[in-house]
A and B are shown apart, each in its own frame.
Chain A
Amino acid sequence: MSGVRVLVGTRKGAFVLESDSARAKWDVAGPFFGGWEIYHMKGSPVNPNRIYASQTSGWFGQIVQRSDDGGKTWEAVGNEFPYAGETGTHQWYDGTPHPWEFKRVWHIEPSLTDADTVYAGVEDAALFRSTDAGASWHELPGLRTHATGNRWQPGAGGLGLHTILLDPKDPKRITIAISAAGAFRSDDGGETWKAANKGLQSKYLPDPNAEVGFCVHHLAHNPKRPETVYMQLHWNVMRSDDAGDSWRLISGNLPSDFGFPVEVHAHDPETVYVVPIKSDSEHYPPDGKLRVYRSRTGGTEWEALTDGLPQEDCYVNVLRDAMAVDQLSSCGIYFGTTGGQVYVSPDSGDHWQAIVRDLPAVLSVEVQTLP
């Protein structure tokens, strides 16, 4: 394998960072779509030159961009996301019914097997699919019309569907997460869904057996063992070994079990990474120290990774889609901050360096491992 391409979405545009397998020297391209919020960019695992980007604006709405040359040039594709059938209502912050309204695409997930098929998780929460490379989008309404849908409430950032896990072993299995409804899984290609929140606990929910209402921040799995899923919950880091049927607590010795991203090592399903954040009120690292925590035991026992990261006066956040791993033999870990830094560790987290330090606030980071 010859190198990596890091796709960075920021509050004010997109950036593409490329390096060889040493991951020491970087070429930085961008900004693309300057001034627009780029919620997420992701490349097709089938055709790495095909990249999709969610470009949004409070003024001008949603645009989806597609590149077929590895991010050098872009073409705007379909931007209409019509809910299927009667939209109904979910709960508003005050508990009153509120009609479903499309706002933006939070997450784009290209198919594992077809470069023209791509999924989009949107706010207000729904899952869309395109089978024509983004030209048109069609909702998979079984999720939004789940029996609990009228009880879903938005998190502070909105009712966003922010995580989509496709199962490489079972092409019919899709797992998604919504703030603040929880995790859901389909075993029939997105037609029907079941809540996957058993074992989750939230101090904000009085019902210990609540089916939904969980502020799941992110999910991650290793494609080699997709049934093991890790979750950064609002508070608590969780693990499931049955594809989300049940969850157990693995926060262990973390300095804070609040945070946003969670990622899994490319070659070891038991090695997992989180970035603890002090609290949901402060949204910055404990003690002003930016520390990634790694567990080599599938959770519970965590070690701080600090070499190359700021260990004083650091008050940035790392958002839910702003961490990624590459597939090189020495697995690279990447994350971006709200302070505009993108860090890389080419050795599984032991040592870190900043690729860039002064981008706009980073919303998302994805990495492509190039042949």
Chain B
Amino acid sequence: MTAAMIRVVLPYHLRNLAQVGSEVAVAVEGTVTQRAVIDAVEASYPVLRGTIRDHATKQRRPFLRYFACESDLSHEPPENPLPQAVAAGREPFMVVGAIAGG
């Protein structure tokens, strides 16, 4: 099976931590889901493990949200397929930090 190249937009502090630009591309095999995309991000950039979701529970960190195709996918089940435009690489999957604090 050919891996799909998924575009992922990271928040500012995680870009700096991973030493990447605003958008990265990660290879996902099989169904393109939230879980598969974050798995691929963590595999490509191990320094991000624990920063987007909890190490043990794999729950999304509370002040982060997932968006794609102008929709908030934060509360979608992580095993649900992402929109076709994301799977096809036309739209990015976005990890967004909550605007809060100083």
- Is A36 part of the binding interface, using a Cβ–Cβ cutoff of 8 Å? yes
| A63 CB contacts on chain B under 8 angstroms | 17, 47, 51
CB-CB contacts of A27-42 with B at 8 A, as 1s and 0s? 0000000111000000
Number of A-B contacts (CB under 8 A): 41
- Is B56 part of the binding interface, using a Cβ–Cβ cutoff of 8 Å? yes
- Is A79 part of the binding interface, using a Cβ–Cβ cutoff of 8 Å? yes
- Is B1 part of the binding interface, using a Cβ–Cβ cutoff of 8 Å? no
| B16 CB contacts on chain A under 8 angstroms | 34
- Is B81 part of the binding interface, using a Cβ–Cβ cutoff of 8 Å? no
With A36-B13, A60-B14, A82-B55 known to touch, is A76 a contact of B98 (CB < 8 Å)?
no
A59 B55 Cβ-Cβ under 8 A: no
| B52 CB contacts on chain A under 8 angstroms | 60
Residue among A61, A62, A79 with the most chain B CB within 10 A? Answer: A61
Task: Name the interface residues of B50-79: CB closer than 8 Å to any CB of A.
Answer: 50-52, 54-56, 61, 63-64
With the chains together, A57 CA to B62 CA distance in Å? 12
- Is A58 part of the binding interface, using a Cβ–Cβ cutoff of 8 Å? yes
B13 A59 Cβ-Cβ under 8 A: yes
- Is B49 part of the binding interface, using a Cβ–Cβ cutoff of 8 Å? yes
A interface secondary structure, majority: loop
- Is A241 part of the binding interface, using a Cβ–Cβ cutoff of 8 Å? no
Q: Give the interface residue-count category, chain B.
A: 20 to 34
Q: Give the interface residue-count category, chain A.
A: 10 to 19
Please pick, from B55, B61, B101, the residue contacting A60 in the complex, using a CB distance under 8 A: B61
B50 A58 Cβ-Cβ under 8 A: no
A79 B50 Cβ-Cβ under 8 A: yes
20 A-B pairs with C-beta separation under 8 A: A34-B16, A36-B13, A57-B13, A58-B63, A58-B101, A59-B63, A59-B64, A60-B13, A60-B17, A60-B52, A60-B61, A60-B64, A61-B50, A61-B61, A63-B47, A76-B17, A76-B47, A79-B51, A79-B55, A82-B55
Known contacts A34-B16, A35-B13, A60-B52, then 19 further A-B pairs from the complex at CB < 8 Å, ordered by chain A residue: A36-B13, A58-B101, A59-B13, A59-B61, A59-B63, A59-B64, A59-B97, A60-B17, A60-B61, A60-B64, A61-B50, A61-B51, A61-B54, A61-B61, A62-B50, A79-B49, A79-B55, A80-B49, A82-B56
